[in-house]
Amino acid sequence: MHKPAGILVSGNSFKTITNALVRNIKRSTLPDATKPQPVHRLDFGTTGVLLVGKTSSSIRALNKLFEDKDIKKTYYATAIGEMDSEGEITTNIDGKASKSNYTLCKTVLSKRFGTLNLLRLEPQTGRRHQLRKHLSHIDHPILGDKVYGVEPLILNGKGLYLHAYSLQFTHPFTHEQLFLKEELPERFKKIFDSL
């Protein structure tokens, strides 16, 4: 499913993706059908592909695929500042090793930010706020990141420019190769107008 920006995936709040799924996704007809629920998390401000399970066995199987790193995740972000054409970021996050790879797809000049870059990001581990922390760590914060951004470069009111573009994995029951993707939001296209 598509996750819009500004909504929590789960938690104590009434307005969450988890609460909305029951009313917006058709219940499975399989014997182990359960309340639909997300099998991974995206930050409050992140848009894009969110994987949902509708049976107890599918939720367990999909969680195991994430745990075993058998799901390839691809994100796009708009990062600030001049960057190398590609790179690998490895730092500890919350005391655990973490790794993300990036590829520079397009660069535009900006009066306010100097340089804005469209990055393709492939996290190799799944730490909380990993991509945001990694890019901030190398001094190229994500546009709109109020938590890990640099004070004079904070963009207010436009949201976080981080998009969960695709998930690629083998279906745990049919063994079909799946490639689920959600095109970039319009606000990315406005910055990088030839997308």
Q: Is residue 43 flagged as an active site residue?
A: yes
List the Cα angle 163/165/170 in 5-degree steps: 140
Cα–Cα distance, 149 to 165 (Å, whole number): 22
d(CA 113, CA 82): 10
Spot the catalytic one: 32, 43, 145, 193. Answer: 43
| Residue 101 burial (10 A CB sphere; 0-12, 13-18, 19+) | middle
Contacts of 67 (CB under 8 A, 6+ apart): none
Residue 81 CB contacts under 8 Å (≥ 6 apart), including other chains: 113, 114, 115, 117, 139, 140
Residue 58's nearest CA partner among 22, 34, 26, 25 is: 34
Pull the structure tokens for residue 189: 């296209």
Q: Which residues are catalytic?
A: 43
